[in-house]
Amino acid sequence: MITRVVTACMLLVVVVSQDPGFNDTCVKGMYPPPAQRGVKEYVLNLDLPPEQRWQQIASEKRHEIVALIIEFKKFLMEWGSGEIITIVDFLGDNIDAILPNPYRDEIKGIANATGIYEGEIFVYNIFYELFTVCTSIIAHDSTGKMYHVRNLDFGLFLGWDPKNRTWQLTDMLRPAIVNVDWQRGGKTVFKSVNYAGYVGVLTAIKPNKFTFSLDERFSVDGGYLGILVYILEKTGSWTSLLAREVFENAIDFADARDKLANTQLIAPGYFILGGTKPGEGVVITRNREVNGTDIWAMTDKTAGGWFILETNYDHWKKPLVVDNRRDPAINCTQKMGIQNAGFAGLFNVLSSKPVLNKLTTYSALMEVDSGKLETWLQYCPDPCEPW
């Protein structure tokens, strides 16, 4: 069975592995970062046939996608996850039958635009489904304005570069990060942060409606098992594709919450969902099956009152001692205070070690009323965890 260990998504709560002797501090004055750390935005026209939608992004980012696929396949074989490669080889030309439309035709279009085999684009897409670790935060300021921020960390155990003291895959991912403005009829439906060639949604905002981030939940209830069940029985939804469907179709926060909470999945996860009003912030803890779903609201006495945050552990349990990003993030958020909640204050939290770590690829900042999405590439200078 695949061990789901590698990616991290943060909603305003997370830090990576913590050395008890490490000097964690809450930094200030980090916003705005240098302009060169900004991420390019592309328009994706949903009115186009699925095969054509990703053509510009896939063509411009072809070399980045190829390099990442090579690295992903190397990891899958080296770390005992060759089952995924076996599945792809077994299905052969029928690989596209695994996914429903429009996703399978979009993957065909990406394959055509890049010259990459469809099965490899498929592996590239499901890799994020199985290996994502994150920190996410939802907060409102003293006027009630809602913010949702997140760090996405990816690349643990994927090629340590001893000379530069960085993770090779983390370095390779940053150039592939894009902002996507999903439009229909020339108008924005929603915006997201994507790795080029990835058709699902991990971080997104629907202006004046809701915001979202997806964090990994480590569990044996999913991964390889979930994929096999899906292939054999065609039951369950891919977490990131469900999120995309919610952004295309849900009409408001409540509608989005209900769909995320009550749809059977292929893999467990944490859905972090923010709305437009104070109190409209939840962490939805999911099993593959709908039974066992937990909805934790920012109004709960165990949350922060004016904020809620999630890393990669159930909120009613203590995080692993070696991966306690939660407490430092909470500490920095509380020190920031509701009076400083906003892009600058929250970016400082995301830039504080160990919330910021060597696996952090980007920080995303979202403000639902304006529909504003900012994405900044992140780097963690030494000393920095892990390692």
Using one digit for the tens of pLDDT, what is the confidence trace for 20-57?
444 568 999 999 999 999 999 999 999 999 999 999 99
Pairing relationship of beta strands 160-161 and 187-195 according to DSSP bridges: unpaired
Grade residue 75 by pLDDT with cuts at 50, 70 and 90: confident
Confidence of residue 80 (pLDDT cuts 50, 70, 90): low
- Residue 39 tokens read as 């991420």
Quick one: CA dihedral 271, 274, 275, 277, positive or negative? positive
Give me the catalytic one of 134, 332, 380, 384.
Answer: 134
The confidence band for 1, taking pLDDT boundaries of 50, 70 and 90, is very low
Residue 134 among the catalytic residues: yes
Highest mean pLDDT among 9-13, 100-104, 243-247 belongs to 243-247
According to the model, what pLDDT value does residue 9 have? 43
User: In the chain, where are the structural domains located?
Assistant: 7-377
Q: Which CATH class is domain 7-377?
A: alpha beta
From 30-39, 148-157, 239-248, 268-277, the region with the lowest mean pLDDT: 148-157
Could you give the C-alpha distances from 243 to 55, 90, 135, 199, 334, in angstroms and in order?
A: 22, 28, 17, 11, 30
- pLDDT greater than 50 at residue 17: no
The phi, psi pair for 207, rounded to 5°, reads -50, 135
With cut-offs at 50, 70 and 90, classify the pLDDT of residue 126.
confident
